[in-house]
Amino acid sequence: MDKFKSTIGQEFIEKSKYRYSVASDQEKELPQPPLDREIEADKLVIELPAPEELAIPPIDLLVAIENRKSTRKFTDGWITLKELTYLLWTTQGVKRVTSRPATLRTVPSAGSRHPLETYLWVHRVEGLVPGIYRYKAIGHQLVQLDTSAGWGEKLSDACYEQPFVGDAAVSFFWAADIYRAEWRYSERAYRYILLDAGHVCQNLHLACEAIGAGMCAVGAYHDDALNALLGLDGKEQFVVYAAAVGTK
């Protein structure tokens, strides 16, 4: 293969270099977008336990790092609502909203833009009806989006027929609201959302060790099919990463 052959990937890296930057909407003094998505109309909102109420046993960081591995085979066990809350808090929890305004969260994000929204396929979580949910980070709530049947199979199919995605106790889908980052960083934002997703997913890996759960990150999926299932337009909002969590 000609090492100088042009590819879409190479073009992305080249054209997202700072030397190609144009003035961002922030530099143009346009208003910044909302810090997270509003609650969808007529949807059930579930208040989650406060982080200080979770009482998850501490785990040594080095132990968590050394024990972390991808797990694709789960039992049919359930996780508790407090355990799910712990996973949500450690991956997208809002510690403070600043006067800028911006959110300071449990994971880093370029410019504190935090452009990721967390969608969940809840399969076996105590106290929750199986279905699709979204984590409302500001407010620390779950929004119930769809509890119709068949979600596990549809999501597995969209993830290149990987059955563990649908069989897991809960599967995470991180979707970028791109303008939240693009407002500040213009084209460079498309690099940063991928870095942000990596930070979030690694936190989930380590948090799963604290609750004794298995987890596997998922990057193989049919973008258009998965976005359509989650009601995302594929341009302004789109999935960038996923992960399945279950009992070992």
What is residue 204's DSSP assignment? Answer: H
User: Residue 5 has what pLDDT?
Assistant: 64
What's the rounded Cα separation, in Å, for the pair 117 and 240? 10
Quick check: is 177 in a domain? yes
pLDDT tops 90 at residue 49: yes
- 60 within domain boundaries: yes
State the pLDDT confidence band at 102, using cuts at 50, 70 and 90. Answer: very high
- Three-state SS string over 24-62 comes to CCCCCCCCCCCCCCCCCCCCEEEECCCHHHCCCCCCCHH
| 156 belongs to a structural domain | yes
Tell me the pLDDT tens digit for each residue of 174-196.
Answer: 999 999 999 999 999 999 999 99
Model confidence over 239-248: pLDDT tens digits?
999 999 999 9
| Helices 189-210, 81-92: crossing angle, 10 deg rounding | 140
Residue 225 has pLDDT above 60, yes or no: yes
Res 6 pLDDT > 90 = no
Task: Indicate whether 41 pLDDT > 90.
Answer: yes
What pLDDT does 166 receive? Answer: 98
* Residues in contact with 211: Cβ distance below 8 Å, sequence separation at least 6, in sequence order: 56, 79, 83, 86, 87
**Domain housing 188:** 40-247
**Can you give the pLDDT at residue 19?**
93
Judge whether residue 51 has pLDDT over 60. Answer: yes
What pTM was computed for the model? Answer: 0.96
Q: Which whole number is the average pLDDT over 119-130?
A: 98
| pLDDT score at 150 | 98
Please report, rounded to a whole number, the percentage of residues in the chain having pLDDT higher than 90: 96
Average pLDDT, the chain: 96
pLDDT of residue 3 exceeding 70, the answer is no
User: Has residue 64 been placed in a domain?
Assistant: yes
Give residue-wise pLDDT tens across range 197-217: 999 999 999 999 999 999 999
Within a domain: 242? yes
Q: Is residue 24, in this structure, part of any structural domain at all? A: no
**21 belongs to a structural domain:** no
Is residue 156 scored above 80 in pLDDT? Answer: yes
State yes or no: pLDDT of 1 exceeds 60: no
Would you state the pLDDT for residue 98?
Answer: 96
Do the domain assignments include residue 165?
yes
Please tell me the least confidently modeled range out of 2-6, 92-96, 243-247.
2-6
Residue 158 confidence class, pLDDT cut points 50, 70, 90 = very high
CA dihedral 209, 211, 217, 223 (to 10 degrees): -160
How far is Cα 149 from Cα 23, in angstroms, rounded to an integer?
46
Give the chain's domain count.
1
What is the CATH classification number for the domain harbouring 177? 3.40.109.10
